[in-house]
Protein backbone atom coordinates (compact mmCIF):
# COMPACT_ATOMS: atom_id res chain seq x y z
CA UNK A 1 0.00 0.00 0.00
CA UNK A 2 1.24 3.46 -0.88
CA UNK A 3 0.07 6.95 -0.04
CA UNK A 4 -0.81 8.78 -3.26
CA UNK A 5 -1.90 12.39 -3.75
CA UNK A 6 -3.99 13.16 -6.84
CA UNK A 7 -4.26 16.80 -8.00
CA UNK A 8 -7.51 17.01 -10.00
CA UNK A 9 -10.14 19.77 -10.26
CA UNK A 10 -12.92 17.51 -11.60
CA UNK A 11 -14.65 15.93 -8.56
CA UNK A 12 -16.01 12.99 -10.58
CA UNK A 13 -12.59 12.16 -12.03
CA UNK A 14 -11.05 12.53 -8.58
CA UNK A 15 -13.56 10.07 -7.15
CA UNK A 16 -13.07 7.59 -10.02
CA UNK A 17 -9.27 7.57 -9.66
CA UNK A 18 -9.51 7.41 -5.88
CA UNK A 19 -11.87 4.41 -5.98
CA UNK A 20 -9.72 2.66 -8.61
CA UNK A 21 -6.55 3.01 -6.56
CA UNK A 22 -8.25 2.27 -3.24
CA UNK A 23 -9.42 -0.99 -4.81
CA UNK A 24 -5.77 -1.75 -5.63
CA UNK A 25 -4.81 -1.25 -1.98
CA UNK A 26 -3.48 2.32 -2.06
CA UNK A 27 -4.48 5.30 0.11
CA UNK A 28 -5.43 8.29 -2.06
CA UNK A 29 -5.99 11.93 -1.20
CA UNK A 30 -7.54 14.21 -3.82
CA UNK A 31 -6.58 17.89 -4.02
CA UNK A 32 -8.51 20.37 -6.16
CA UNK A 33 -5.84 22.78 -7.39
CA UNK A 34 -2.10 23.16 -7.85
CA UNK A 35 -1.51 25.39 -4.82
CA UNK A 36 -3.40 23.05 -2.46
CA UNK A 37 -1.49 20.12 -3.94
CA UNK A 38 1.88 21.79 -3.36
CA UNK A 39 0.97 22.66 0.23
CA UNK A 40 -0.16 19.08 0.89
CA UNK A 41 3.00 17.63 -0.66
CA UNK A 42 5.11 19.83 1.59
CA UNK A 43 3.13 18.81 4.68
CA UNK A 44 3.34 15.07 4.00
CA UNK A 45 5.37 13.62 1.17
CA UNK A 46 3.46 10.75 -0.46
CA UNK A 47 4.96 7.80 -2.32
CA UNK A 48 3.52 9.16 -5.60
CA UNK A 49 1.79 12.26 -6.93
CA UNK A 50 -0.67 12.06 -9.81
CA UNK A 51 -1.19 15.41 -11.51
CA UNK A 52 -3.68 16.75 -14.05
CA UNK A 53 -2.11 19.26 -16.43
CA UNK A 54 -5.12 21.61 -16.41
CA UNK A 55 -5.27 22.58 -12.74
CA UNK A 56 -6.57 25.92 -11.47
CA UNK A 57 -4.26 28.26 -9.50
CA UNK A 58 -1.13 26.54 -10.86
CA UNK A 59 -0.85 24.28 -13.90
CA UNK A 60 0.32 20.72 -13.60
CA UNK A 61 3.56 21.57 -15.43
CA UNK A 62 4.24 24.46 -13.02
CA UNK A 63 3.57 22.20 -10.04
CA UNK A 64 5.97 19.55 -11.36
CA UNK A 65 8.72 22.14 -11.97
CA UNK A 66 8.38 23.48 -8.41
CA UNK A 67 8.49 19.96 -6.97
CA UNK A 68 11.64 19.15 -8.97
CA UNK A 69 13.38 22.25 -7.54
CA UNK A 70 12.31 21.57 -3.93
CA UNK A 71 15.06 19.96 -1.83
CA UNK A 72 12.53 17.85 0.10
CA UNK A 73 10.38 16.79 -2.87
CA UNK A 74 12.71 16.69 -5.90
CA UNK A 75 12.73 12.87 -6.04
CA UNK A 76 8.95 12.43 -5.70
CA UNK A 77 7.61 10.18 -8.47
CA UNK A 78 4.99 11.99 -10.56
CA UNK A 79 2.46 10.54 -13.00
CA UNK A 80 0.52 12.91 -15.22
CA UNK A 81 -3.11 11.89 -15.84
CA UNK A 82 -4.68 14.36 -18.23
CA UNK A 83 -7.15 14.89 -21.07
CA UNK A 84 -4.43 16.66 -23.05
CA UNK A 85 -3.70 14.31 -25.89
CA UNK A 86 -0.98 15.88 -28.05
CA UNK A 87 2.62 14.74 -28.18
CA UNK A 88 3.60 18.35 -27.44
CA UNK A 89 1.64 18.26 -24.16
CA UNK A 90 3.35 15.02 -23.20
CA UNK A 91 6.75 16.54 -24.04
CA UNK A 92 5.96 19.55 -21.82
CA UNK A 93 5.06 17.25 -18.92
CA UNK A 94 8.17 15.11 -19.40
CA UNK A 95 10.43 18.18 -19.68
CA UNK A 96 8.93 19.50 -16.45
CA UNK A 97 9.93 16.22 -14.77
CA UNK A 98 7.00 13.80 -15.01
CA UNK A 99 7.89 10.12 -14.69
CA UNK A 100 4.85 8.91 -16.62
CA UNK A 101 2.01 10.21 -18.78
CA UNK A 102 -1.47 8.71 -19.14
CA UNK A 103 -4.31 10.17 -21.17
CA UNK A 104 -7.97 10.38 -20.11
CA UNK A 105 -10.21 8.55 -20.52
CA UNK A 106 -8.08 5.83 -19.00
CA UNK A 107 -8.34 2.08 -18.55
CA UNK A 108 -8.39 1.40 -14.77
CA UNK A 109 -6.13 -1.63 -15.20
CA UNK A 110 -3.60 0.49 -17.09
CA UNK A 111 -3.69 3.17 -14.38
CA UNK A 112 -3.06 0.60 -11.65
CA UNK A 113 -0.27 -0.95 -13.71
CA UNK A 114 1.44 2.41 -14.30
CA UNK A 115 1.10 3.41 -10.64
CA UNK A 116 2.60 0.11 -9.47
CA UNK A 117 5.37 0.28 -12.07
CA UNK A 118 6.38 3.81 -11.01
CA UNK A 119 6.22 2.86 -7.31
CA UNK A 120 8.41 -0.22 -7.95
CA UNK A 121 10.88 1.91 -9.92
CA UNK A 122 11.01 4.51 -7.14
CA UNK A 123 11.66 1.82 -4.55
CA UNK A 124 14.54 0.26 -6.50
CA UNK A 125 16.31 3.58 -7.06
CA UNK A 126 16.50 4.51 -3.40
CA UNK A 127 20.09 4.50 -2.21
CA UNK A 128 21.00 1.75 0.24
CA UNK A 129 21.26 2.78 3.87
CA UNK A 130 24.64 4.07 4.97
CA UNK A 131 26.72 1.45 6.76
CA UNK A 132 27.15 1.85 10.48
CA UNK A 133 30.78 2.23 11.44
CA UNK A 134 31.96 0.70 14.65
CA UNK A 135 35.22 1.75 16.26
CA UNK A 136 37.91 3.61 14.37
Number of structural domains found in the chain? 1
Taking CA atoms, 45 is separated from 50, 53, 60, 73, 108, in Å, by 13, 20, 17, 7, 24
The model's confidence at residue 45, banded by pLDDT at 50, 70 and 90, is very high
pLDDT tens across 97-111, in order? 999 999 999 999 999
Q: Is the peptide bond before 8 cis (omega within 30 degrees of 0)?
A: no
CATH number for position 38: 3.40.50.2300
pTM of the model: 0.90
* Domain assignment of residue 31, given as a range: 3-124
Flag whether 131 is in a domain.
Answer: no
Flag whether 133 is in a domain.
Answer: no
Flag whether 134 is in a domain.
Answer: no
Flag whether 130 is in a domain.
Answer: no
Flag whether 72 is in a domain.
Answer: yes
Closest CA relative to residue 2, chosen from 106, 93, 77, 109 = 77
Amino acid sequence: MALIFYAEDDPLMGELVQETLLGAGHAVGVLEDGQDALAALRRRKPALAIVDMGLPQMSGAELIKIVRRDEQLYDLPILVLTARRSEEDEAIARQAGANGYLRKPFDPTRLIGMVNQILDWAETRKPPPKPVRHGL
